[in-house]
Amino acid sequence: MSLAVDRLVLRQLLLAGIEDAVEFGKELRCYAIQRDGRVVAHFTDGSRAEGDVLVAADGVNSVVRHQYLSHARIVDTGVRQLYGAVPLTDRTRNLFDEDMFGVFTVITGPEGTYLGVAPVQFPVPPQRAGAMAGLALLPVSDYMTCSFGARREWFADSADTLRAMNGAQLHAIMTAATGDWHPRVREIVANCVPDSLFALPLRTCVPIDPWPTTSVTLLGDAIHAMSPAAGSGACTALRDAARLTAALTDAAADDDPITALRAYETAMIDYGFAAVRAGAINGQRHLGQDPLP
């Protein structure tokens, strides 16, 4: 089953009710495991926090993974993608065939280029649904994600240069690349909001063998960053969070977090790296990405 979720809305929902327990503006610098097994996290502002367990959810550039599993590698897939959005209005809806309102549609062009579109539609506007639950959510309207991708050799600019470009510059690249495509595709690109655009090199981790469990663990992109080609990075991160929460809740009764973390990691390493491999195979087939090393 597939479900389209807006990142900002999901983030607001996940934070609802736990605002007091979340502190922003702290950047982790490193951690240390003490003799008694407890972990101390050190932040760049000189402050520290101590706990029984450290859960690294710090994404693809994870500071914790660099320190803890320094042999784990993140590699470039060879594909660059420009991401943006087309607001869905009565007029722009007509640009998309009915089946493009399914999950993700790839429109392939010459030289391995492609345009990907995927709908994000709300059965009830988030602000109204939030108000019914007593939550003040920011307004978001229906949109179609619209991304243009190609192999790195196709682009005249390096990944760093692309990343530094503003929306108008990225929009110009997309417009030129699709200049002789089907008129409806050109119209879709014309309606992609320049300010919504950003460029990313697609990256993936390289799966590693299991490691001995300690009081430091990882979840999400920090341990299994994957090609977006299977659309399962965020889903797998949420699966980790649910599984880890259940394991640690059970462990609280007998005060044995390591056994709980071992059970979580055994399962996560299996399904997490399977998702990485599935993403790489999909990415090779549909986006022209490099195979996993």
CA-wise closest residue to 218 among 66, 74, 71:
66
Q: How far apart are alpha carbons 20 and 48 in whole angstroms?
A: 18
How many residues line the site for ligand FAD (CB under 6 A)?
18
| One-letter amino acid for residue 173 of the chain | I
Nearer to ligand FAD, 96 or 127 (CB): 96
Indicate whether 37 belongs to the interface with ligand FAD (CB under 6 A).
Answer: no
Q: How far apart are alpha carbons 121 and 86 in whole angstroms?
A: 12
User: By 3-state DSSP, what share of the chain in percent is helix, strand and coil, each rounded to 5?
Assistant: 45, 20, 35
> Which one of 31, 68, 83, 155 is in contact with ligand FAD (CB under 6 A)?
83
> Which one of 27, 36, 90, 255 is in contact with ligand FAD (CB under 6 A)?
27
Nearer to ligand FAD, 7 or 182 (CB): 7
Would strands 74-87 and 198-205 be described as parallel, antiparallel, or unpaired?
antiparallel
Instruction: Tell which positions 224-263 bind ligand FAD, by CB under 6 A.
Output: 228, 231-235, 237
Nearer to ligand FAD, 127 or 243 (CB): 243
Indicate whether 55 belongs to the interface with ligand FAD (CB under 6 A).
Answer: no
| One-letter amino acid for residue 49 of the chain | A
Contact 240, 268 (CB under 8 A): yes
User: To the nearest whole angstrom, how small is the minimum distance from the Cβ of residue 221 to ligand FAD?
Assistant: 4
Nearer to ligand FAD, 127 or 278 (CB): 278
Indicate whether 200 belongs to the interface with ligand FAD (CB under 6 A).
Answer: yes
Nearer to ligand FAD, 127 or 140 (CB): 140
The SS3 call for residue 10 is helix
